[in-house]
Amino acid sequence: MAKKKRTAPENTNKNALADNVHIQGAGTITDERIVETLKSNFMPYAMSVILSRAIPEIDGLKPSHRKLLYTMYNMGLLKGGTIKSANIVGRTMQLNPHGDASIYETMVRLSKGNESLLYPYVESKGNFGKAYSRNMMYAASRYTEAKLAPICKELFDDIDKDTVDFVDNYDNTMKEPRLLPVTFPTILANVTTGIAAGMASSIASFNLKELCETTIALMKNKEHVISDTLIAPDFVGGGYIIYDKAELEKIYETGRGSVKVRSKYAYDKSYNCIDITEIPPTTTSEAIIDKIIELVKTNKVKEISDIRDETDLNGLRITIDLKRGIDPDKLMTKLYKMTPLEDSFSCNFNVLIDGKPGVRGVKEILNEWVRFRLNCISRRVSFSLNKKKKQLHLLKGLSKILLDIDKAIKIVRETESESDVVPNLMIGFGIDETQAEYVAEIKLRHLNREYILKRINEIESLENEIADLEQILASDRRKKTIIIKELEEVIKKYDAGRKSEIIFETTEDYSEPLVVVEDYPVTLFISQGGYLKKIKTANLRMSGEQKVKEGDVILEEAECSNKDELLVFTTKHQVYKAKVDDFNDTKASVLGEYLPSKLDMEEGEEVAYVAVVSEYKGYMIFVFENGKLAKVDISAYETKTNRKKLINAYCEKYPLAAALYLPEDTDIVLCANNSRKLLINTAVVLSKTTKNTQGVNIMTLKKKSDKVESVHIYQEGEFEKAWRFRPKNFPAQGALPSAGDVGEQITF
């Protein structure tokens, strides 16, 4: 069979094809150290994300922010009106080629309309969405307009005076600044978050006045205590900051920690509602509403009749309608604990400095910013100094022309070739080429004594200015004075006061949510099939016969308060905790609520006994079919946390015959299937704190088929001769009822 030849496509270079087909080393398995693979493959990517994407630098900006703002600055948007955002986005792609969507999202976050930043850099016109709402999306870039905010003057001031380095853009067709020469510590003025490869950054925002004053104090005194002037973070959404000095000092020192932020609300008495107008920066209005609705649906919060979002052009507003008689302050205390209305802002001050990421405290960051700003001042002074030295050099050349203006005119006029004018002036007056070029370019109208004298008189002032600039350049103290003056100007121009109010920790205990439950008498009916109905005791007179499911019977009836608790013991040796208030008031004509569904019981799990507890005092009595009795202190079922289910509620080793809750020791009657009854006082059995204790033998059963069937509280007169049923020692068989005994009188 003939071998098929592989043919190359037309117009394809054979050598190139051969290179593509025959890859050197293809299919060869070689050993390689994982460390080397990570270094060559993963580390370049990780460093790119860290250095060029996610972590802010000392000017407070990420590369995407800097490229956008610099483009807007070059477009002249620091002055004048707004222009379409789409235009700005398109121009920015010359520096940031990552797609228009990501650029526009960056602009949105920097805008005043979005309310993400405490000091926004972009003035916006149109719908830019809201940071506090996940549903309020921003409009497309073709509909919105933007320009630079006035505070951006502090970002670009003297950028054209060689204050910062410029680098090539991605295709080497333009130059862009490596950093911006910011005149105040922008790195701590706005919230900045970012997730890189293997590290993240989360920087809180601080009030501009406090931040600048702290920087000034730190420049004057290296040992300045930061917390004396920088009180606490300040967030654009306002709210209350719970002041924790120890935690704040930890943040200032290490750059790590958390700040608790609480929502601000007002109570409207006329409408009986709470208006929430300021929320933490870490949540949204939808998240808060969803959580409150969930709490209401699960009966964990019963004080609320309605909740809605009334946010409008005036700002955020979440309205909570209250039921009659509810204390709004107590309800908000409860909601602070159970919802994002109170949340923590986690701080992780990871900043890039000289290309190296690191988590730094506020003091270190401010010192690094001062060092950066000192370098900017030095470069600006050097730029001005060189410019003035050049100007002085030219004026000194002009002063030599003043000695004989006619000679200068004669040299220019008698020189035949234009190219010889400068050399002839150099020879005629003993000046260098630069000075001669300057003289040769003077207009004919300025070749008069008055003009030249005016210019020469500037020499003295220039020399003084140069001397002053040289002194500044040589003195860090003079440079710091300039920085302090600039910071004071920033405070005057842009300070607008704090947005987040500071409150101190109260002595009130927030470990348990406050519950407002109405207190009124109710009667509970519990059926054998596991249904529970709650009827106001006052309404029982008007109630007819209690309706139950076919084949079901009422097993327990108990009068209690609406504030009491229920302990629902099940056939799977578990107990479910609920409040009587968790069940709705109903009437005799309904079946009630099915406990296994209401309490989310496991499949096949049934109700064994329901105990109604007003306070955790007394005992649970568990009687098993084999005649054993366990007495458990009811306090064993009390929990400090709001737990809804406890396992190992009673001993699972023996089948349960019956259970009883007794507020105090009393006489009970054990009834066996062999018709024998045993009367004991529960005081003869010691109580245990272990829930699943096996108990002690109380009733002796002779046959294997014998077993205890039920237990009830003894009623006086139930037995004609009670002493017959009360043995002196245990375990005992009990006695058979006589004709004069009344029999069982079960009450609950």
Report d(CA 660, CA 619) in Å as an integer: 8
Asked if residues 661 and 567 have their Cβ atoms less than 8 Å apart, the reply is yes
Q: What is the DSSP string of 253-291?
A: HHSEEEEEEE-EEEEETTTTEEEEEE--TT--HHHHHHH
Strand order in the sheet with 593-594: 554-561, 521-527, 531-536, 593-594
The catalytic residue among 45, 143, 271, 520 is 143
Instruction: Please state, in angstroms and as integers, the Cα–Cα distance from residue 645 to each residue in 405, 563, 642, 650, following that order.
Output: 106, 19, 9, 13
Neighbour tally for 475: CB within 10 Å: 11
Task: Estimate the crossing angle of helix 362-402 against helix 458-474, to 10 degrees.
Answer: 150
Query: d(Cα 473, Cα 475) in Å, to the nearest integer?
Result: 6
- 522, 562 Cβ separation under 8 angstroms: yes
- Give the single-character DSSP code of 195: E
Active site residue 143: yes
Burial of 366 (0-12, 13-18, 19+ CB in 10 A): buried
**Separation of first and last alpha carbons in the chain:** 99
Q: Which letter does DSSP use for residue 724 in this model?
A: G
What's the CA gap between 728 and 726, in Å, rounded? 7
Give me the helices (H) in 169-237, please. 208-220, 226-229
Whether 556 and 614 have beta carbons less than 8 Å apart is answered as no
514 neighbors 330 (Cβ within 8 angstroms)? yes
Helix (H), strand (E) counts: the chain: 20, 32
**CA distances (Å), origin 136, targets 116, 127, 139, 234, 285:** 13, 9, 9, 24, 10
What sign has the CA pseudo-torsion 647, 652, 655, 657? negative
3-class secondary structure per residue, 664-694: CCCEEEEEECCCCEEEEEHHHCCCECCCCCC
- Give the residue among 152, 138, 140, 156 at the shortest CA–CA distance from 85: 140
Tokens of 575: 């107990």
Cα(605)–Cα(340) distance, integer angstroms: 35
Q: Which amino acid is at 409?
A: I
Q: Is the peptide bond before 177 cis (omega within 30 degrees of 0)?
A: no
Its sign, for the CA torsion 32, 34, 36, 41, is positive
Q: If we measure between CA atoms, which residue out of 557, 565, 558, 555 comes closest to residue 529? A: 555
- Between strands 240-243 and 501-504, the pairing is parallel
- Beta carbons of 501 and 241 less than 8 angstroms apart: yes
Distance CA 262, CA 528 (A): 48
C-alpha 688, offset from chain centre: 46
Pair of tokens at residue 416 = 């035949």
DSSP string, 574-605: -EEEEEGGGSPB--TTS--EEHHHHTTPPTT-
Residues designated catalytic: 143
